[in-house]
Amino acid sequence: MATVRSMVLSKHYLTKNDCYKAGRKIVPRGVMVHSTGVAQPDPDVFVRAWNKPGVEVAVHAIVSQEGVYQCLPWDCRGWHAGGAANNTHIGFEICEPAGHTYQGGTMVGYDAGKNAPYFDTVYRSAVELTAMLCAAYGLDPLADGVVICHSEGYRRGIASNHGDVTHWWPRFGVTMDDFRADVAREMQGGEELTEKQVRQIAREEWAAQEAKRNNAEASGWALEYIQRAIQAGILAGVDDGKGGKTIARPQGISTREEMATMGVAILESAKGIQ
């Protein structure tokens, strides 16, 4: 077991996985960041699920609140991107905390305020891991296409159509550009600590604001419009506990996925009126 700054790194190789057994090698040209897309913070669950024959997934590492599990040699060709990035990028998954579900690729019931400490911990480990890998293979995290997430890989045509990590990190006001900058600073020895502290405060404030919005009830003036939108099939209604219907997170921020869903519903409703 090794320690890199605050990151605890231990080996849990997927020796029974077909990817590990194939033993194909790559020359790493980048690092791809993933998150698991399921509310499961225990990395051992994934190791047990993937460490067997016939499983078509194998990542180089899993980041959890306890540290980093290395699952493949860094120069092993992994099965993480669903595309050409498997030939060029080291890929690691970040475990998501418990307590939420997914609907159409969107986190449902995720409490950003409650999960801020969890996010800060796994994010810090992800930064340190990526910095370590970039240093080991002579990579510039700020160069184009070197450090990317799965969704960025999809937009580049080198990964499958997944939304991670841009479906999660923006809830804390964090972008991949922020991550790349943090990795670069970590490689320089972690300078500008004050700026990092300010960034953490900003994340906590963002998370608290989102939690407040998500827990707020609908404003009185909007109730009629919400009911009409539910009746028209534009918004998905949920039980309000009083025998009626309402919507989840009435004052929450809508994602592009949710806006697209509502837009199509509006178009379909308009066709029915014609």
Top-level class of domain 2-214: alpha beta
Residue 104 has pLDDT above 80, yes or no: yes
- Please work out, in degrees rounded to the nearest 5, the angle formed at the alpha carbon of residue 48 by the alpha carbons of 47 and 53: 95
State the pLDDT confidence band at 164, using cuts at 50, 70 and 90: very high
User: At residue 274, does pLDDT exceed 70?
Assistant: no
What is the pLDDT at residue 193?
46
Cα separation of the two ends of the chain: 67
Instruction: Say whether pLDDT at 256 is over 90.
Output: no
| Whole-number pLDDT of residue 2 | 41
Q: For the chain, percent helix, then strand, then coil, each to nearest 5? A: 45, 20, 40
- pLDDT tens for 36-60 read 999 999 999 999 999 999 999 999 9
Residues 6 and 124: beta-carbon distance below 8 Å: yes
Q: How confident is the model at residue 235 (pLDDT cuts 50, 70, 90)?
A: confident
Q: What is the mean pLDDT of residues 172-182?
A: 96
Contacts of 64-68 spanning 24+ positions with Cβ under 8 A: 64/94, 64/95, 64/122, 65/41, 65/95, 65/97, 65/118, 65/121, 65/122, 66/8, 67/7, 67/8, 67/9, 67/10, 67/125, 68/7, 68/8, 68/9, 68/10, 68/92, 68/125, 68/129
Rounded to the nearest integer, the mean pLDDT of the chain is: 89
Nearest to 235 by CA among 218, 215, 220: 218
Q: Domain limits of the chain?
A: 2-214, 218-273
pLDDT at residue 232 tops 90: no
User: What backbone phi and psi angles, to 5 degrees, belong to 141?
Assistant: -65, -20
What does the DSSP 8-state code read for residue 237? -
Strands (E), 140-194: 147-149
Q: What three-state secondary structure class fits 152?
A: helix
pTM score of the predicted model: 0.72
Measured CA to CA, the distance from residue 66 to residue 97 in angstroms comes to 12
Residue 4 has pLDDT above 50, yes or no: no
